Chain A
């Protein structure tokens, strides 16, 4: 289900380089951060500000319904770190929360790279994902279980 409105986040930088952000909501049909509507809002806000607006981003969302599973590691503090290498040899890590217990080897810590679900996910990442710089992700190196401590209140 698509959101009722799209959030546009406008980044501002003052003369000292300090950063602030302004969020506005626009029509949910707008998916281009260079759309005329986004630019019109940025133009009128930049006209009343002494800060530079160097960047804008959109948050386009689709939501899904369902129920979380109840496996052995079904807590977001339990996660699996999946390591890849890009075309330049640079490592990249993906963090997947609530890993299924069935994707690990008998030590329950190391990802079983021969597991069919792991192979399917790894193939989807290599086929579809890039690095932030736009470089292709080429090689799956392996994965291991990790636990992130809960934040103190």
Chain B
């Protein structure tokens, strides 16, 4: 990307939220940096809202994987991966267009012994446990299960 998106989230006196979108140099990595605080201070001068959050949204456009064909090749087909943290809270991740070869013969349950999941250090389970966190920064501690799911069809109005 030629620039990095930067948003200032505003809250009004009725606790309603709105965003103001800016773009800044891609070298910006701190939403509390000099430029971001200068924009926030300047916006506070012309707005009565509470400028509650500064958010930087850097992008990577490096591609991973490729679009394939075969069973479950639509984004409406998903595999749901279920992990838990040390407190027993569950964390779900819905990955679209799953490979059919990751399921057991029922076509629904993830085969956790599949090397893409189970490979020591480099498999999906170990990679998630090492790198992915909960929304409050808590570590994931166990892979519970994975299962195939499909997006629900919308009912006609």
Contact = CB atoms under 8 A, between A and B. Distances in A.
Interface string B5-25: 100001111101110111111
A121 to B, nearest CB: 4
A130 interface: yes
Nearest to A37: B131
Contact of B53 (A33, A54, A62, A127): A62
B46 A96 contact: yes
Interface string A88-105: 000000111111100100
Given A13-B67, A15-B73, A61-B54, A132 B59 contact: no
Contact of A98 (B12, B55, B117): B12
Interface in A101-134: 103, 117-118, 120-121, 123-125, 127-134
A77 B133 CA distance: 36
Contacts of A50: 67-70, 72-73, 97-99
A50 B76 CA distance: 12
Contact of A45 (B23, B69, B124, B137): B124
A63 B52 contact: yes
Nearest to A33: B60
Q: How large is the interface on A (under 10, 10 to 19, 20 to 34, 35 or more residues)?
A: 35 or more
B87 interface: no
B133 A27 contact: yes
A57 B43 contact: no
Contact of B47 (A31, A70, A99, A125): A99
Interface in A10-25: 12-16, 18-20, 22, 24-25
20 contacts: A20-B78, A25-B134, A34-B60, A43-B127, A48-B95, A50-B67, A52-B66, A54-B61, A55-B61, A61-B54, A64-B51, A69-B47, A69-B50, A76-B18, A94-B20, A98-B49, A128-B24, A129-B22, A132-B2, A135-B2
